[in-house]
Structure 1
Amino acid sequence: MSALPNTHEVLLRNLNLVEGRPALLGVSDAGLLPECPVPGLAMTEHAGLWQSLAGDTVWEGCYGYEPEPSQGGSYDTVVVFLPKARAEFELRLALARYLAAPGAVLLVIGEKKEGIAGAIKQFSAVAGDVVKVDSARHCQVWSGRNVDALSRFRLADWLDWSRVDCAGVELSVAGLPGVFSVGRLDDGTRLLLETLAESPLTADRVLDFACGAGVIGAWLHGFRRVSGGSPIRVDGIEVQAQAVFSARQTYLNAGVSGDIFAADGLAAIKESWPAVVSNPPFHSGVKTDTSMTEQFLSQVARHLAPGGELRLVANSFLPYEALIRRYVGPVEKLAQNRRFTVYRAVRKTLG
């Protein structure tokens, strides 16, 4: 069995602090759950982990920040694992205050390098006199009580809308704390959209892999409308719960035709599309991690129709050109600047 994340190991070391039925917010490794003596609620933002939790007959699984109404105020201890995005901590803390019974134990666990010290100021504002109860494995554990319980929690109340204007198309984009590039159009996506305006897709069905808040799909819909083209359907795949929620709201607001799938990659997806676009992630926390994109490139050809086209933007230093050629087919660079490169590839004939 592989080692658990530091924050999970530190919780196991402090199980004496857990009273009654627990809720664990931000679980990143399902291996934690069998080690906990009393089952409860396990919340994760990761679609793959959530799907595995959904089949657990002991623990309740919760995908992101959309609990069942019956779960409010029903947990004796709520553990908040510090999220990577600092802005998300307030959201996760609000969910904890909603799920926890009045006066219940609240525990915050996080790594020092991820800003646990600063987060405790926010924790103190809603949990009374908080106390540091442990420091181990580069983590800290802080304890407080649910002295300011919430009787209502709606994820839609946390939505933040921003305007995006690119290549003659304006749209509104929904965002939530923790979503990539929330509140702005990142430079890589802008370059990709500009090339899509200069060399438009001819396909009427497109998949946006790692779709984030739905910017690309909403833009493609808007571009077809302003250019007088035929309607387009853009489906999206995204692993993070907040991004899935945001993308669906962005699509609804813009009138985009398409589904947003909560999935960890393409393995469970059966459909194929005549075109796939993507601005895939290359970070895991603060570290460069290209494994998700490499897995995507190794699988995407099976989801491209014969002669199907891939458009992908990536940081120029990442070694994707050879991988695209190997797994998809002939590749060209449509645009390149100091930071980003936009690739176009056509699916080769599969043997």
Structure 2
Amino acid sequence: MRSARLEMALEGGLLPVPAEGRVAVLRPRLGDDLAGLPKDRVEVVTGFRPDFDWFAGRGFRTVRAAEGDYAAAVVCLPRSREQARGLIAQAAGLVVAGGPVAVDGQKTDGVDAVLKELRGRVALSEALSKAHGKIAVFPAGAGLAGWAAAPVEVEGFRTVAGVFSADGVDRGSALLAAALPAEMKGKVADLGAGWGYLARAVLARDGVKECHLVEAEADALDCARDNVADARAQFHWADATTFRLPKLMEHVVMNPPFHQGRDADPALGLAFIAAAARGLAPDGVLWMVANRHLPYDRALGTLFREVQEIGGDAAFRVTRAAYPVRTR
């Protein structure tokens, strides 16, 4: 666990946190224990709303974007290699020259490969191994030119490393977009909107009056703002499973996630389905795509009066679910 590695790195002097100045912790995950760091000087930097809210709720100063000089930084490696490089380069530029930058991650996050790349570019310490992961430290400064994350253009859309389907349109989303009715009208919510692919398809319908893009990842939502240039679009940086839409919708579209980190978690998709049912008008319709193996049938049958498979392929199922059941 991250807390065990941090504790050993701090106690053993591998990570010498200066006595003064802010300490940036980039992209920690919900549940991470940062107790070994000076809480009054820690600034959690994350654009993922559930993580942001979790750390803010525990009294940490939490920001979407880091600003100014820091005395030290800890980079918590994400799954995406390109995103990891970008975070490390960002940390090296945020910390005062010579200040410690720690890179921490699980083996399943690719920490070994990242540290191997770093060794040829910076004065990286020996790695401390603990709890199926590693942590190593280097002094902030030059040497990481070219690692900074930059947006890319994919099939006419702007994306960035680390967001869902950053390299191209997701097959499931494409199937869902093709199945949406031409006569779609009224208010629409796109839950887990990502970088705006489905929302742009929705707004191609003249009858749509509003499209609410709800997305937990700030980087993805920033891309969506560029990709969906339409006055009818409204953008919400929020956890779709808990967010309350400003009004009931005639339609909800979604390709819900089903992973927390590297672990499959069907409960996440089930929470999206429940959120969709709450956000729909009594005669509203959910348009959803999901992998066929996921156990969503029971929830759909419980929360909607009409459920129909309307498309898909061998891997994905496109579902139309109408008339949400109101629970007392």
TM-score where L is the length of structure 1? 0.83
Classify 1:125/1:219 alpha carbon distance in 2 versus 1 (closer, same or farther; 3 Å). Answer: farther
Q: Aligned residues: percent identity?
A: 25
* Pairing 1:148–2:162 present: no
**Which of 217, 226, 241 matches 1:240?**
217
Do the aligned residues in 2 keep the contact of 1:265 with 1:292 (CA within 8 Å)? no
Matches within 5 A, 1:1-351: 6-15=1-10, 16=13, 17-20=15-18, 21-29=22-30, 32-38=33-39, 39-54=41-56, 59-63=60-64, 66-67=65-66, 71-72=67-68, 74-126=69-121, 128-148=122-142, 158-163=150-155, 172-196=156-180, 199-221=181-203, 223-224=204-205, 229-230=206-207, 232-251=209-228, 254-255=229-230, 257-271=232-246, 272-350=248-326
The CA deviation string for residues 307-326 of structure 1, in whole angstroms up to 9 with x for no partner, is 00000000111121221111
The runs of 5 or more residues in structure 2 that have no matched partner are none
- 1:268 deviates by 3.6
Do the aligned residues in 2 keep the contact of 1:300 with 1:328 (CA within 8 Å)? no
The CA deviation string for residues 273-317 of structure 1, in whole angstroms up to 9 with x for no partner, is 111000011122332111211112223222101200000000111
Supply the distance in 2 between the matched residues of 1:48 and 1:285 (Cα, whole angstroms): 13
- 1:114 deviates by 2.1
Supply the distance in 2 between the matched residues of 1:286 and 1:113 (Cα, whole angstroms): 8
TM-score where L is the length of structure 2? 0.88
Supply the distance in 2 between the matched residues of 1:205 and 1:160 (Cα, whole angstroms): 31
Do the aligned residues in 1 keep the contact of 2:283 with 2:323 (CA within 8 Å)? yes
Worse overlay, 30-39 or 113-122 = 30-39
The CA deviation string for residues 246-274 of structure 1, in whole angstroms up to 9 with x for no partner, is 112212xx335222211123424143211
Supply the distance in 1 between the matched residues of 2:305 and 2:118 (Cα, whole angstroms): 52
The CA deviation string for residues 19-50 of structure 1, in whole angstroms up to 9 with x for no partner, is 12421111113652444235221112320231
* SS of residue in 1 equivalent to 2:17: coil
- 1:56 deviates by 6.2
Supply the distance in 2 between the matched residues of 1:149 and 1:195 (Cα, whole angstroms): 49
- 1:91 deviates by 1.3
RMSD, matched Cα: 2.4
Supply the distance in 1 between the matched residues of 2:16 and 2:42 (Cα, whole angstroms): 11
Do the aligned residues in 2 keep the contact of 1:90 with 1:122 (CA within 8 Å)? no
The runs of 5 or more residues in structure 1 that have no matched partner are 1-5, 164-171
Do the aligned residues in 1 keep the contact of 2:154 with 2:168 (CA within 8 Å)? yes
